[in-house]
Copies of this chain bind each other. A is one copy, B any other.
């Protein structure tokens, strides 16, 4: 919070208007690349890190995993539906891939992990010395034995978080699913396990059928809905988590414009993740940053001052 009322940009510190510190990570802006999007290759992570405040790599597990057959993503007028199936080269190959980020990355790197047990989760962290933080995928809605399968049981969530925390000194984020009766219950369990921040939310279970061929459009039949369609759903989760939890909330779900970023921050998000919006524009981070600079200039408030403002407003 700024003590003085003179806006930062007047004091020649316009770049500070967007800066945010998230669990010790210094981020030039609150915009993070969401996991699973463009996150399999270090080259795209490096490229995106030029403008993004942080990048989250695609979820990785202990073993290589092929994922589902194509089609794994379909778009519709209001977003995307995907069932990629956590395709991953496995922990060793991926750690090697990410090594180059150390030299060339321009913002913090978050490594997303999936696993079936707390031990398996914890075994992954030592492989990633280049990671600045870890995100636990407790929420992929379309894979067996991982993701939501482990992330909808509060006890298990608490145990996983605690075990991972013991394995690393780096911040640990828990990415939650909206496909539960009460996201706050899961968030609280993660908090009790010692999580540093929660990420809300992963995709919403959904599917689409082609009426000409009369077949589901995804090879996996169903998948997870992302994009603008789910923005109000994600926002509600962020609102509730901000109200009930003490740890920071990272908002994700349908954020496409700078207005969406502000909306999530007002609801309580310290940072936000951008995923499906890359479908609309690969310059999304650059354009969001420029728009947010203009917005903070117009209001004279830095973004961190706005976190949760709609609760008290």
Contacts and interface: CB of A to CB of B under 8 A. Distances in A.
Q: How many copies does the complex hold?
A: 2
A211 B263 contact: yes
A234 to B, nearest CB: 8
Interface string A85-120: 000000000000000000000000000000000000
Interface string A190-231: 000000000000001111110101111000011001001111
B181 A228 contact: no
A216 B152 contact: no
Contacts of A76: 231-232
A78 interface: yes
B233 A204 contact: yes
Given A81-B232, A228-B77, A310-B214, A222 B239 contact: yes
Main SS of the interface on chain A?
mixed
A262 interface: yes
A290 B1 CA distance: 60
A267 interface: yes
Interface in A287-313: 306, 309-310, 313
Contacts of A266: 209, 211, 214
Interface of A: 76-79, 81, 152, 179-181, 204-209, 211, 213-216, 221-222, 225, 228-233, 235-236, 239, 259, 262-263, 266-267, 306, 309-310, 313
13 contacts: A78-B229, A78-B231, A81-B232, A152-B181, A204-B204, A204-B233, A206-B235, A207-B239, A209-B263, A209-B267, A215-B313, A222-B236, A229-B230
